[in-house]
């Protein structure tokens, strides 16, 4: 991937896409293509095909997709399934048709079985029942991973690369309480509790489930590393994690300290926990030479600073 290579970032305004653009520009890559949804609807097959035909991108980071937390996944399963599969299918077909050199697709740790051994290895995919609360989204992501392998096998290429980052956080995350993931939801809940001078905050579940988190800029570094080392990758998916996990209770304590909330934390055990643990075995990708570089506290401070700047300007995402 040369500095003048034509690079398309699908989903460039989101959490990972914006981090990839930031890193690429910092490294001197200038020939970057980015389209907002109003300019290019990737769920429209003819629009996606026309875009790839006209632009002829050499490298594609497929960060576009519809994501959300437990509430959103339970409320809008058909939307999650249809939107993600439509985008994936259209982009994969166009990328193959117009000879993209490499495309990175991103899965999610929710693709692994609900009762998977921990840490989760790549070969555990499709070996058991997945978590019901994220079933539709997980099935869409699993379809994308299988598609990467299928295209590579049928067309005798290594064009498609599948990465599985664990729960990401960082600037430009989604902080809408209905649709956000656990860490961004905690940041917003604690911030609002602090601003409203609440003496206690009630959080969902027991707080016992454990989550591994990866800063978006570390995931961006991993993505660029994968593009540059595509010849070293096998036709399989690769886990991308930080190598450390925390209980939701521990995360809540850390976030409350960074936000500066001084009240009590209580847990509503009548609400669902979701999967008890989602810890990735990233050894296959680490063996190729990549390492994460941002610890949780530093990443959270950067994320909260971005949150404060954007909540003041009314720019936080409120979306399904």
Structural domain includes residue 187: no
More confident residue, 157 or 319: 157
Q: Which one of the listed residues 137, 169, 246, 304 is annotated catalytic? A: 137
Residue 319: what pLDDT? 35
pLDDT at residue 100 is higher than 60: yes
Higher-pLDDT residue of 174 and 7 is: 7
- Predicted local confidence at residue 66, as pLDDT: 87
- Residue 81 in any domain: the answer is yes
**Confidence at 320, pLDDT banded by 50, 70, 90:** very low
Residue 169 lies in a domain: yes
Q: Identify whether 199 is part of a domain.
A: no
pLDDT of residue 98: 98
Domain count, the chain: 1
| pLDDT at 318 exceeding the cut of 50 | no
Residue 274 has pLDDT above 80, yes or no: no
Greater pLDDT, 161 or 76: 161
Domain-located, residue 189: no
pLDDT of residue 73: 80
pTM for the whole structure: 0.92
pLDDT of 316: 52
Average pLDDT over residues 275-282: 90
pLDDT tens per residue, range 186-206 = 999 999 999 999 999 999 899
pLDDT band at residue 317 under the 50/70/90 scheme: very low
Is residue 262 a part of any domain in this protein?
Answer: no
- In-domain check, residue 221: yes
Residue 3: pLDDT band by 50, 70, 90 thresholds? very high
**Per-residue pLDDT averaged across 226-236, rounded?**
97
67 falls in which pLDDT band (50, 70, 90)? confident
The average pLDDT across 235-244 equals 96
As a three-state string, the secondary structure of the chain is CCCCCCEEEECCCCHHHHHHHHHHHHCCCCCEECCCCCCCCCCCHHHHHHHHHHHCCCEEEECCCCCCCHHHHHHCHHHHHHHHHHHHHHHHHHHHHCCCCEEEEECCHHHCCCCCCCCECHHHCCCCCCCHHHHHHHHHHHHHHHHHHHHHHHHCCCCEEEEEECEEECCCCCCCCCCCCHHHHHHHHHHHHHHCCCCEEEEECCCCCEEEEEEHHHHHHHHHHHHHCHHHCCCCEEEECCCCEEEHHHHHHHHHHHHCCCCEEEEECCCCCCCCEECECCHHHHCCCCCCCCCHHHHHHHHHHHHHHHHHCCCCCCCC
Work out the average pLDDT over 113-134. 93
pLDDT at residue 48 tops 70: yes
Residue 313: pLDDT band (50, 70, 90) is low
Position 275 pLDDT exceeds 80 = no
- Residue 204 covered by a domain: no
Residues 161-186: pLDDT tens digits?
Answer: 999 999 999 999 989 877 778 899 99
Mean pLDDT rounded to a whole number for the chain: 93
Q: Could you tell me the CATH number of the domain that includes residue 130?
A: 3.40.50.720
- Residue 8 is among the residues annotated as catalytic for this protein: no
Q: Can you give the residue range of the structural domain that contains 232?
A: 7-174+212-244+277-294
């Amino acid at each position: 991937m040369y500095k003048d290579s034509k690079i398309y970032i699908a989903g460039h305004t989101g959490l990972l896409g914006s981090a990839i653009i930031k890193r690429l520009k910092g490294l001197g890559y200038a020939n970057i293509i980015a389209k907002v949804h109003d300019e290019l609807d990737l769920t429209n097959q003819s629009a996606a095909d026309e875009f790839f035909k006209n632009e002829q991108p050499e490298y594609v980071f497929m960060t576009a997709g519809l994501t959300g937390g437990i509430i959103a996944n339970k409320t809008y399963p058909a939307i999650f399934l249809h939107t993600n599969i439509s985008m994936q299918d259209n982009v994969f077909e166009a990328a193959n048709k117009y000879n993209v050199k490499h495309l990175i697709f991103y899965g999610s740790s929710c693709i692994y079985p609900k009762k998977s051994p921990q840490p989760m290895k790549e070969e555990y995919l499709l070996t058991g029942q997945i978590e019901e609360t994220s079933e539709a989204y997980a099935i869409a992501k699993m379809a994308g991973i299988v598609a990467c392998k299928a295209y590579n096998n049928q067309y005798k290429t290594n064009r498609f690369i599948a990465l599985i980052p664990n729960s990401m956080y960082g600037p430009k995350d989604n902080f809408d309480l209905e649709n956000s993931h656990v860490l961004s939801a905690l940041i917003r809940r604690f911030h609002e509790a602090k601003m409203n001078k609440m003496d206690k905050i009630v959080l969902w579940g027991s707080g016992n489930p454990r989550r591994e988190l990866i800063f978006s800029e570390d995931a961006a570094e991993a993505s660029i590393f994968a593009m540059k080392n595509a010849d070293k990758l096998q036709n399989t998916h690769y886990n991308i994690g930080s190598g450390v996990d925390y209980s939701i209770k521990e995360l809540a304590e850390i976030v409350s300290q960074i936000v500066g909330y001084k009240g009590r934390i209580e847990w509503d055990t009548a609400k669902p926990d979701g999967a008890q643990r989602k810890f990735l075995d990233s050894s296959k990708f680490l063996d190729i030479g990549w390492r994460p570089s941002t610890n949780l506290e530093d990443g959270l401070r950067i994320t909260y600073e971005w949150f404060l700047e954007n909540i003041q300007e009314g720019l936080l995402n409120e979306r399904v």
